[in-house]
Structure 1
């Protein structure tokens, strides 16, 4: 099973379960607001993204563990910002049955969002 991760606010995940699909692209943007894809990460990319995009967020987040083989929407690996790092992007809503686990994601003792290993989410 190949997995990718999506950083989410717990309340948005709860709302998605009620709605039947997840539509948040990233912090403050959803597919309903004109975003074209849902941002995802490989485990080794999570801390970099969290410490950039969610640097000022103090509340705990969660990590949606996504089985890529269960995705209904298209998945593309892209380096859209030409930074030399490609990220997985889900082009369309995230079907709930592709989310095989939801893990709490909290700041480390040093105040930064911690690294995530592949073993931690497998």
Structure 2
């Protein structure tokens, strides 16, 4: 057992890049087009919460990040997602077509994940045939 805390964690950028993932695959937007959240304290101590983000439509938080501001440990964030376009495609045609042109059939839809580059998020998308990770 150790109580070691990495000093690198003290200087994490509050700019959090993330994307949504259906069934653990990289299928929301092309590589490099990630959602961007400025995870800095809000005026009046408001809880950190994204607006409703539509699956497949990039969100970039315009909140300014003051110099020498870092991601606070255990920052809680509520991420809000709108899947209505995907669900409507399932209802209308039985499948949703991803940005890659791949068809995701309604019966194959299992989970939506949030993937990102800031711990505890990971951009480790699964490969074809690999089981999804929680």
More helix by share: 1
Fold match by TM threshold 0.5 = no
* TM-score, L = length of structure 2: 0.28
* TM-score, L = length of structure 1: 0.31
